[in-house]
Amino acid sequence: MGFRRRLNPLSNLLIFASVVLFANRFSFAYGKSNETQALAITPINHDLYHTSHERDNLLEIEKISGTNKGYKAEITVITYSGNRKESDDRAKLRILLTFGQHARELITTELALRLLSILSEEEFLPNMDRSSLNRTLDRLVIKIVPMENLNGRKLVEDGELCERRNGIIINDFDCKIDTGYHKNAKCLKVKFLSGRGVDLNRNWSVDWGKKEKVSFNQFLIMIHTKENPGTAPFSEPETQIMRKLSVSFEPHIWVNVHSGMEALFMPYDHKNTTPAGIPSQIMKSMLEELNHFHLKDHCLIGSGGGSVGYLAHGTATDYMYDVARVPMAFTFEIYGDPKASSRDCFKMFNPIDITSFNGVLNDWSAAFFQMFSIGVQQMDGLQTKAIASSFDNWISIDDYLNGYLMHRKSRYGKKMEVLDLGLQEIRTYFRLFLLSSVLLLFMFCSRISKSTRPIVSAMAL
């Protein structure tokens, strides 16, 4: 599955160098004023796209790999836990953040690195009291995936600037060529490229593979996004890894970070509605606060399906909310240049000058840490209600966040994983087995009783 180890000062640079190694070979337009200059290929400016370090007692790294038909993917997961005590982690608010799911959205991974740098106290947020922040962080466990789609990112590094999907399989073949009189005289090595090209944000099981009747303008948008849901839900190792991570970690808050516009989305992506009742109110209230105080009211707020112009099926956020039962599931779109040419994908999805670059990272870092604070406040409020309601029947924070907070009839809902359904059937069969065993035992005892009566009578005589 992978390995886990504590970071030490010597390994810090190596770890983050591996996370951002792609940046050393990629080219960016930097601070240019016109279209031609913006598309110029220049070496990376390390003041913009930087390497980072962490403090070793707060962060852990785990590398998880998976394969499918010769295709291999690896995802790095970095865990932050303030005031770390293993026994206390389950009592903390758990947050799962993923970045770089779409390969061309480089700025999202840079935001992940900025958050890690702040968490490790290498950098500091302006106008924020660090001691107050630390008190909030002590109540959290945060798992960050800086780059979910590493293979797709390599394609972008090689010049496919509009690629958002995952990578390709490269198979080498040795072939012998028959030259007539001189058989096997020459051997050529041939590279065979087998495409994956799957959109990792269409490869989840909620409404997977569904196609919509769309207008011509919507069709053009979908052609530009190059949607491909894969051969089946979770056909890709990347989505398999993320699903396993969500099952083992059981986050209370999930955020999938993208770029292309400025928006704070809540479920749903596959339909033009938001969840009904209390869940929708809680999530919308949090997003409105983040938008107003940290993002200058620039962001759209609502369901992804009702805001982007077309419905998206098989998305990670809809799965996290409907199946994994994450109480608060979001998609954040952190940057977009609507004036950029549709052929200039880098400029469309990523800031190209230092002012915009730092502005995006500063504003969204502040928004994320404010979200952490709001989450802790909500947790405290729920725990207070639990204590006030009953001193005899303690209710865990998990039960509140997944049940009471969401006002759901069932934590598992209508859509359950195959494993859950299997376990339910096993329980049913076990009950039937017990019932049939009791009946058989009763019949057996009755038969023995009838067969022994004549013998007893004869002995009496």
Q: Which residues are catalytic?
A: 333
Contacting residues for 127 by C-beta, under 8 A, at least 6 apart? none
Using DSSP, state whether 442 is helix, strand or coil: helix
Considering Cα of 270, then 276, then 282, then 284, what sign does the dihedral take? positive
CA 286 to chain centroid: 20
State how far the Cα of 167 lies from the Cα of 148, in Å rounded to an integer.
12
- Closest to 136 measured CA to CA, from 369, 332, 344, 329: 369
b/e code 391-429 from CB counts within 10 Å (16+ = b):
eeeebebeebbbbbbbebeeeeeeebeeeeeeeeeeeee
By CB neighbour count within 10 A (0-12 exposed, 13-18 middle, 19+ buried), where does 221 fall? middle
State how far the Cα of 191 lies from the Cα of 168, in Å rounded to an integer.
12
State how far the Cα of 394 lies from the Cα of 392, in Å rounded to an integer.
6
- Closest to 100 measured CA to CA, from 89, 108, 90, 111: 108
By CB neighbour count within 10 A (0-12 exposed, 13-18 middle, 19+ buried), where does 330 fall? buried
- In angstroms, the Cα distances linking 415 to 211, 229, 235, 322, 421 are 20, 20, 19, 7, 10
> Bridge-partner residues for 3, per DSSP?
63
Q: Which residue has the tokens 């780059």?
A: 147
> Bridge-partner residues for 194, per DSSP?
169
State how far the Cα of 293 lies from the Cα of 106, in Å rounded to an integer.
25
Report phi then psi at 69, rounded to 5.
55, 45
